Amino acid sequence: MAKVLVTGGAGFIGSHVVDLFVSKGYEVVIVDDLSTGRVSNLNPAAKFYEIDIRDPKLRDIFDAERPDYISHHAAQMDVRRSVAQPLFDADVNILGSINVIECAKEFGIKHFVYISSGGAAYGEPERVPCVETDPINPICQYGASKHTVEHYLYMYHVNYGMNYTVLRYPNVFGPRQDPRGEAGVVAIFTGKMLLGEPVLINGDGEQTRDYVFVGDCARANYLAVTIDHAPGIYNIGWGLPTSVNQIFTGLAAITEYNQPAQHGPAKLGETRHIYLDASKARKDLGWAPTSTLEEGLRETVEYFRTSEKAM
């Protein structure tokens, strides 16, 4: 039985990746420090190690488990924290990732799947939708740190023959996203609306993103491991812009929320317009999104209504 190690596997997206691999018959190992992940997200069929990816003892886990594949989701993923604490952001996202890559090299991993940012790495794009060869000019520390690891993976491929796939995620939403976190507008809005609380939009709300349901992103990880393809970078996205105001309106209709949105100042380091061309992923991996925005929003609201006990 093939074995997959998922870093950040107790987190929002990583836990869905774990669930999919388990359902496909893989043995799954989770590495997560639970700084943002939840014990409740852990799949009981997976083996769990509570450890920071920066910890030198990570090597011992690789030695004991000998995984075939890596899906590296663990990260500092808050744009605002990256701006306020750039050294911490770089420590986790760059040095932590190098620690994972070094372990993968030493123990002969067959394929390394790395989750990068399609929303932050490009910065203010010269054109939309973005393709993988477009200039990378991040305007926040998070985008810079996530992109930096892409260069390390290319280097390890050239120098050591490591097979890898970079998945540049768009704005991912769905069940298990933290409604009380700093990132994830769909979860935050849903949590507020279901409680009847005011909803704050940063800026005018006309900033646009590419919103993809979490199950579709999990499937991209599975295809990256199972479909033969050249190492490289792949955008994941619809290739369609959706504004924050549209997200607000859609969720308000589903939750029957009748308060007007409140507006605050725009976030420093936030890209104004970004959405991604995923033609390469469609061609090489056979990946395309399947859950429409409305379907995904409805499934997300239903999850929060039934499963977020603390709300």
If residue 263 lies in a helix (H) or strand (E), which one and from where to where? Answer: strand 262-264
Structure tokens at 173: 């939403």
User: Is 122 among the catalytic positions?
Assistant: no
How far is it, in rounded angstroms, from Cα 180 to Cα 230?
A: 39
Under 8 Å between Cβ of 207 and 272: yes
How far, in whole angstroms, is CA 110 from its chain's centroid? 22
Q: E strands, 136-244, where?
A: 164-169, 171-173, 200-202, 208-209, 211-213, 232-235, 242-243
Under 8 Å between Cβ of 32 and 11: yes
Q: Give the length of the chain.
A: 311
- Which residue is listed with tokens 């260069």? 151
**What single DSSP character describes residue 259?**
S
Alpha helix ranges (H) inside 230-292: 244-255, 279-285
Integer-rounded Cα radius of gyration of the chain: 19
How far is it, in rounded angstroms, from Cα 15 to Cα 4?
A: 13
Contacts of 195 (CB under 8 A, 6+ apart): 311
- Which of 78, 108, 114, 23 shows the shortest CA–CA distance to 267? 78
How far is it, in rounded angstroms, from Cα 192 to Cα 190?
A: 5
Q: E strands, 92-181, where?
A: 111-117, 164-169, 171-173
Active-site entry in 69, 142, 156, 257: 142
279 φ, ψ to 5°?
-60, -35
- Catalytically annotated residues: 142
